[in-house]
Amino acid sequence: MTGRILIVDDVATNRIVMKVKLAQACYTVDQAGSGAEALRAARQGRPDLILLDMAMPDMTGVEVCRQLKADPQTADIPVILITAKSDRDAKMAGLVAGADDFLTKPMDEVTLLARVRSLLRARDAVRELHERHAAGVPLGLAEAPAGFTAIELPARIGVVAPGARNAGLWKSALDLRLRDEVVILPREAALAESDTEGGPAPDVFVIAADLERRDDGLRLLSDLRSRPHTRHAAKVVILPEGDSERAAIALDLGASDILYDPFDPEELAIRIRAQLSRKRQADHLRASVRAGLELAVTDSLTGLHNRRYALYHLDLMMARPGRGMAVMMLDLDHFKSINDCHGHSVGDRVLTLVGRRLRAQLRGSDLLARIGGEEFLVALPDGDRAAALDCAERLRHAISDTPFDVGDSTAPLSVTLSVGLALVPPGETGETPQSIIDRADRALYGAKNLGRDQVTLSNRPAA
């Protein structure tokens, strides 16, 4: 993993020693000898991570960290504070100021590099979400970012500890310091999609590295990372005092943070709050990206897929070797008269109801898309002639047999549907999504010319 790391220390020897360690791990290293120099370097060079000494002549590392986190240009840069002695007050102040970790000299090289890798992975994941979101904004696929504000809703904290006594002590300590719901979970319950009362998966897991057996917690960590419903939850792993080797393993397995037992309950609470804030930011960005992707492939009026998605999905369906398919083009008859006589709002309501009726007649594996004003496309995987004709007739009757109640004072409207159907036999290699749409479209024009409200089949390849 490559990355640019800024080392901040007023002692040149310390900077050189650390630079050598990081350079051997293939990181690019910049240096700063004071707090003011660090702030300038961070704003100008935008490093991927900052290793920041606590004691400097012009300002403390805590103050530098506070200023970094207050500046939108540098707020998302991970910071590891480094001190020459174990000082609880300084550690708490640093964590409250936004530091991601707090290491004491002499630093264990294995733990340091594992922590660097972990923070860079987390930074890259958030950066990728930001880039995907930003890419969608000019295309109208997402709202412009206005800055993330954490929503202080109660979260769920899952405690997985060795034995009922330890679990109870951990829960009690967190209950006193957090406003969130803290639940005790056996290992098996942690892997379930919901608990016995139907509660959702936790936002943060606090997991002991050793449960009934040594490394049970690390195995659980790996399982949680692999499952969709817990993949994005934060995981704080509690290790025996001084177990730096397994600390590195836990971080490389995907732990969001680590702490050593016996731990300071206040420090654990601060770290959980920090992890919750980061998770909420990432969840917000993921939701925005997901909404943008859905908007890109969804018709905003009917909620059906749009033409862009239909062509893409048809391509996937046709790429399956040895399987046939049926494609239909559907068009509402005399739809212009509905808009002219009753207005476009009534026409839009009819289109929405048509989409619902069509969807109700199809399987989950069938493709339904609105590809134009009153035009729809249906694709049936593995659809033979008899099944496709039967489906086309069902769709036609679903529209024509029952008038559409559009509300207000407008009387229910009778609407009919014309369908053009084209078949692709198994093993056919000469078709493309557009060519089969063209064949179905010509069949649709045939249905229109024959009087509308009927199904016309075209099973000959386009010339």
3-state class (DSSP) for residue 367: strand
Q: Which amino acid is at 84?
A: A
Long-range contact pairs involving 37-44 (C-beta distance under 8 Å, separation at least 24): 37/8, 38/6, 38/8, 38/64, 39/64, 39/67, 39/68, 39/74, 41/6, 42/6, 42/68, 42/73, 42/74, 42/77, 43/71, 43/73, 43/74
Q: Whole-angstrom Cα distance, residue 124 to residue 130?
A: 10
Query: Which region holds residue 451: left if phi is over 0, alpha if psi is between -120 and 50, else beta?
Result: left
Q: What is the C-alpha separation between 106 and 379, in angstroms, rounded?
A: 65
Tokens of 371: 């590809």
Answer for the pair 360, 398: CB distance below 8 angstroms, yes or no. yes
Q: Hey, which bits of 249-322 come out as E strands?
A: 257-261
- The owner of tokens 């290699």 is 429
**Coil vs helix vs strand at 242:** coil
Active site residue 374: yes
The DSSP bridge partners found for residue 132 are: none
Q: What is the DSSP code string of 139-165?
A: TTSSPPP----------EEEEE-SSHH
Query: In angstroms, how far is CA 405 from the centroid of its own chain?
Result: 39
Give the active site residue among 197, 374, 428, 431: 374
CA 123 – CA 75 distance, rounded (Å): 11
Burial code of 198-235, b = ≥16 C-beta within 10 A, e = fewer? Answer: eeebbbbbbbbbbbeeeebbbebbeebeeeeebeebbb
Cα four-point dihedral sign 423, 425, 431, 433: positive
How far, CA to CA in Å, does 7 sit from each of 27, 124, 140, 323, 461? 12, 19, 40, 60, 67
Rg from Cα positions in the chain: 30
Please write down the HEC assignment for all residues of 21-34. Answer: HHHHCCCEEEEECC
Q: Angle, to 10 degrees, between the axis of helix 244-253 and the axis of helix 216-226?
A: 20
Active site residues: 374
